Structure 1
Amino acid sequence: MGKRVKRAVNEWLTALMVAASLMLVIRVFLFAPYEVHGQSMSPTFEGEELLIVNLLVYDVSEPDYGDIIVFHTKENRDYIKRVIGKPGDRIAVEGGRVIRNGKTLAEPYIKRETFAGTRIKQTMPETVVPEGHLFVLGDNRSNSRDSRDIGAIRESEVVGRADVIVAPPKAFQILFW
């Protein structure tokens, strides 16, 4: 092999190593793929979508109302739900409507119809979201295990915010705008 060929191969290998290293850093520290399982976030997600979760966003900002987050549970599972309440908020559910700090929320993203055999928690007495916690709900209220069942989640359990639906291609959508 000539010097030029060796140098070209060396440059390509170096470029590939740099690219692989960058991809590893991006995957480990910035963004992670997450596959949606189940119907708890329908119609926003119908199940089997592949999302990109921003792992850094909450290192520089706080979760906000309406953010769709991935978080760890005590059952060693990851859930994906929508942020409804932040620390200090008073949350209640009356007749299927969510009331935050005395005001009924307009929630155009939720699925109100019920499914045979599902348990629906249409009423929940007012609760105050503790410091360092979030109150989260699935968009498909009749088929979601969320803060109505597991209580407010610790902010420290939040993995990140779902920013983009990348698959299937027809479902592609940027979520955080």
Structure 2
Amino acid sequence: MSDTDQGQSFAIEADGDDESNGSTSLAALGRGAKAFFDWALVVVIALVVALGVRTFLFAHFVVEGSSMYSTLETGDRVFVNKVSYRLHEPNRGDVVVLHEIRGTTERDLIKRVIAVGGEEVEMRSCEVRIGGQLLIEPYLDPTVVTPGNCGGDFGPILVPAGTVFVMGDNRAGSQDSRTLGPVLIDDIVGRAFVVFWPRSNWQWL
């Protein structure tokens, strides 16, 4: 083979390397673009899921006012389970967020379920009774709820089916079922189950 042939052969091989390098670069670029779009898709799906979870499963609520003191204080942030009462009826003792009720000054309310449909509730000398039996309420602060500082006696009241009787833990400073009447279960946003902020007030409810 002549020197010229060798030079031509070398030139052809060099051209082949350029094409190979170009193909490799394009392939790498394609893989990078695919990885980017895959991650973008993951982020979009995560956002959609997060939005769906927040919209349909959970919500957060900022406490305003002192009606649930000292269990909850102004500025406390709680997570609310919005599906609990699609699966079962509210239970006595649950802390619930309610839609605005006519006659109150609050947009939303957060209260505690004291009695459920079919139960008879009354209060005498700051003691709540259900069907004549004393209701034990360990969540009450004895320095806040004291004899003569709990809003006065009431009842007995029969709670209709499909409703709950709610009260604030700060009995003397709460607008609740004592004046507004039992609340429709359909007006309950969900069950508040944890205080997540501020960290100093973190607690399960």
> TM-score if structure 2 supplies the norm length?
0.79
Q: Do residues 127 (structure 1) and 157 (structure 2) align? A: yes
Matching residue of 2:65: 38
Deviation at 1:23, TM superposition (A): 0.2
Whole-angstrom CA distance in 2 between matches of 1:12 and 1:114: 53
Measure, in 2, the Cα distance between the counterparts of 1:114 and 1:172. 20
1:80 aligns with 2:110: yes
Aligned twin of 2:131: 101
Question: Which string of whole-angstrom CA distances, capped at 9 and with x for unpartnered residues, describes residues 49-106 of structure 1?
Answer: 1110000011111100100011113338211111111111111111111111101212
Q: Aligned equivalents of 1:66 and 1:114: distance in 2?
A: 18
Which structure shows the higher helix fraction?
A: 2
Return the alpha-carbon distance in structure 2 between the equivalents of residues 125 and 83 of structure 1.
16
Counterpart amino acid of 2:133? Answer: K
RMSD: 1.8
**Whole-Å Cα distance in 2 between the matches of residues 16 and 105 of structure 1?**
49
- Of 47, 52, 61, the residue aligned with 2:88 is 61
2:155 and 2:54 map into 1 onto residues whose CA distance is 41
C-alpha contact (below 8 Å) 2:117/2:163 kept by paired residues = yes
1:20 aligns to 2:47 (yes or no): yes
Distance 1:86 1:153 in 2: 10
Distance across 2 between alignment mates of 1:139 and 1:86: 17
Distance 1:19 1:38 in 2: 35
Q: Quick one: structure 1 residues 85 and 173, their matched pair in 2 at CA, closer, same or farther if it must change by over 3 Å?
A: same
SS, match of residue 73 in structure 1: coil
Question: Computing the radius of gyration over CA atoms, which structure comes out larger, 1 or 2?
Answer: 2
Number of aligned residue pairs: 172
Q: In the alignment, residue 45 of structure 2 is paired with which amino acid?
A: V
Corresponding position: 1:156 with 2:182: no
> Once the 2 structures are TM-superposed, how far is the Cα of residue 152 of structure 1 from its aligned partner?
0.5
CA distance in 2, matches of 1:130, 1:58: 17
Q: C-alpha displacement at 1:172, in angstroms?
A: 1.7
- The TM-score, its normalising length taken from structure 1, stands at 0.90
Q: Is the 8 A contact 2:78 2:192 kept in 1?
A: yes
Letter in 2 for 1:9: F
Residue by residue over 1:12-50, the C-alpha shift from the partner in whole angstroms, topping out at 9 and shown as x without a partner, is: 111110110110110011000111111111111122111
For 1:51, give the aligned amino acid.
V
1:4: how far off? 2.2
Shift of 1:120: 4.9
Distance in 2 (CA, whole Å) between partners of 1:74 and 1:84 is 17
Using the alignment, how far apart are the partners of 1:164 and 1:15 within structure 2? 29
Alignment partners' CA distance in 2, 1:84 and 1:174: 18
Query: Unpaired segments of 5 or more residues in structure 1?
Result: none
